[in-house]
């Protein structure tokens, strides 16, 4: 079956009639089947190569067809500015299927956080540090907030694998799996790197036995990520939430 036809009918309709797309980019098409099937994945594409859509469209399709409820997808970024830029776009995609997206980081007001807790979005965009804060906050019940969590997308994953924030991120993901009571599908997004399989293995953490795949149909010569992500640089300080 064509990758486009594997997506939820609501997405197909809006891609064709709202965005006027006549098909998916090669990276997006290649990502549909692996992510729909629940495999962990590393999606490689150049900047503006459609990596966000490659992850979000099949996850939204799973969300709709499997009737996921509550915060079922986390979208983690290294920078607040990137989160702010992505949230309106992802929220539009969510609304096509009657779903919502919201952002939570250090600049988000307490009133907006309270609205998120009261009416949980389907996709929550955040940073590793804000996730840590949610897990330890007396104002947040993580078991309620993340009870429906199914998948985590890590954008700009190469930025995490090269410094101490990466170890922090992996620790937070392990804790989230325990809070949700299930293994979480992990999807990394990156510019082209020289050692993608090592990077994907690193992203899986203690769940290395899960099925996984590298998606890089458009990848050309790239910049190598750290050859051993298990040895993190200590030069980059932990950024505040």
Give the separation between CA 80 and CA 95, rounded to whole angstroms: 22
Question: Comparing C-alpha atoms, which of 134, 164, 138, 166 is closest to residue 149?
Answer: 134
Q: What is the pLDDT of residue 145?
A: 97
What ranges in the chain are assigned the alpha helix state H? 3-6, 9-17, 26-36, 51-65, 80-95, 110-118, 128-136, 142-145, 157-161, 164-180, 196-204
Residue 24, burial from CB neighbour count under 10 angstroms (0-12, 13-18, 19+): buried
Q: What domains, with CATH codes, occur in the chain? A: 3-215 (3.40.50.300)
Give the separation between CA 232 and CA 163, rounded to whole angstroms: 5
Residue 96, burial from CB neighbour count under 10 angstroms (0-12, 13-18, 19+): middle
Q: What is the pLDDT of residue 139?
A: 93
Q: What is the pLDDT of residue 163?
A: 83
Q: What is the pLDDT of residue 46?
A: 85
With a CB cutoff of 8 Å and minimum separation 6, the contacts of 90 are 52, 56, 75, 101, 123, 125
Q: What is the pLDDT of residue 235?
A: 31
Q: What is the largest CA-CA distance in the chain?
A: 49
R_g of the chain, CA atoms, integer Å: 17
Identify any residues that bridge with 212 across adjacent strands, giving them in sequence order.
40
Give the separation between CA 16 and CA 132, rounded to whole angstroms: 39
Retrieve residue 89's tokens: 């776009």
How much is the pTM? 0.89
Give the separation between CA 103 and CA 125, rounded to whole angstroms: 5
C-alpha torsion angle, residues 219, 222, 228, 231 (rounded to 10): -120
Retrieve residue 208's tokens: 């290395």
Q: What is the pLDDT of residue 51?
A: 94
With a CB cutoff of 8 Å and minimum separation 6, the contacts of 115 are 102
Identify any residues that bridge with 104 across adjacent strands, giving them in sequence order.
126
Please report, in tens digits, the pLDDT of each residue of the chain (241 residues total): 799 999 999 999 999 999 999 899 999 999 999 999 999 999 999 877 899 999 999 999 999 999 999 999 999 999 999 999 999 999 999 999 999 999 999 999 999 999 999 999 999 999 999 999 999 999 999 999 999 999 999 999 998 987 899 999 999 999 999 999 999 999 999 987 888 999 999 999 999 999 999 999 864 433 333 333 332 333 333 334 4
């Amino acid at each position: 079956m064509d990758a486009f036809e594997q997506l939820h009918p609501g997405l197909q309709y809006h891609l064709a009639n709202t965005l006027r797309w006549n098909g998916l980019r090669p990276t997006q098409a290649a990502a549909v089947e692996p992510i729909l099937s629940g495999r962990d994945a590393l999606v490689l594409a150049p900047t503006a190569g459609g990596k966000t859509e490659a992850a979000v469209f099949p996850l939204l399709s799973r969300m709709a067809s499997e009737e996921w409820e509550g915060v079922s997808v986390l979208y983690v970024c290294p920078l607040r500015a990137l989160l702010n830029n992505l949230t309106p776009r992802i929220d539009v995609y969510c609304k096509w299927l009657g779903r919502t997206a919201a952002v939570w980081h250090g600049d988000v007001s307490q009133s907006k956080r309270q609205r998120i807790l009261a009416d949980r979005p389907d996709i929550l965009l955040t940073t590793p540090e804000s996730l840590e804060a949610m897990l330890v906050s007396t104002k947040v019940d993580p078991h309620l907030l993340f009870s429906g969590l199914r998948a985590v997308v890590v954008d700009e994953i190469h930025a995490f694998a090269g410094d101490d924030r990466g170890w922090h991120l992996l620790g937070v993901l392990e804790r989230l799996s325990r809070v949700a009571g299930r293994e979480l599908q992990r999807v990394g997004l990156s510019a082209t790197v020289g050692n993608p399989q090592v990077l994907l293995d690193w992203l899986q953490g203690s769940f290395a036995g899960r099925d996984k795949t590298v998606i890089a149909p458009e990848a050309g010569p790239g910049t190598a990520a750290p050859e051993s992500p298990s040895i993190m640089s200590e030069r980059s300080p932990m950024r505040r939430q």
